[in-house]
Amino acid sequence: MQNVKIVVTGPFNAGKTQFIRSISEIDVVNTERKITSKAEQVKSQTTVAMDFGRITVDDDLILYLFGTPGQRRFDFMWEILSEGMLGFVVMVDSTRPETFREARRILETFRAYAPTPYIVAANKQDMADAWDIDDLRLSLRLADDVKLLPCIATDKDTVKTILIELLYSILELMD
């Protein structure tokens, strides 16, 4: 049996847990805890170690999805989670510009950890106050060749598209 993994990262409340939940065939094994910090009370619970989802590809291949914790005090988990990954997805909440700088920091940190392909998912694109993809690209300082795709983490189809596009990037790398 072969196991491969993709890491889903991004700032606090970007939608990482929901992204994995939408596509995983098992209930996401997560380590959510009640939020006590007032500054972070955008939602009631958050991931403190990792989320863990699974997609069985066939009899001898399983794809695991690992979600990183979004809060900075759990940054030490990143290096461990990124070891041996196929690639990674950076989730960005398109409606919260105050998190874009954090998204840039995460992106640069992951790029420094592991030279693996990645894709940026502009989440919550269904919301009225979501930033346009082009504006997001400039704000996140993404080069033209970096894939930045619209995403709605609750919508399985857009989640599938993100993952497939990441896998295409991996195939391109092999050419």
Binding residues for other proteins (CB under 8 A): 2, 4-5, 23, 55-58, 61, 63, 83-87, 101-102, 104-105, 108-109, 111-112, 114-117, 141, 143, 156, 160, 163-164, 167-168, 170-171, 173-174
Element (H, E) at 101: helix 100-113
State which residue, 33 or 105, has the beta carbon closest to other proteins.
Answer: 105
DSSP assignments along 128-143, one per residue: TTPPPHHHHHHHTT--
Phi, then psi, of 100 in degrees rounded to 5: -65, -40
Smallest separation, CB 94 to other proteins (Å): 19
State which residue, 67 or 117, has the beta carbon closest to other proteins.
Answer: 117
Residue among 57, 63, 110, 56 at smallest CA distance from 88: 110
State which residue, 129 or 172, has the beta carbon closest to other proteins.
Answer: 172
Smallest separation, CB 44 to other proteins (Å): 26
Residue among 63, 75, 86 at smallest CA distance from 12: 75
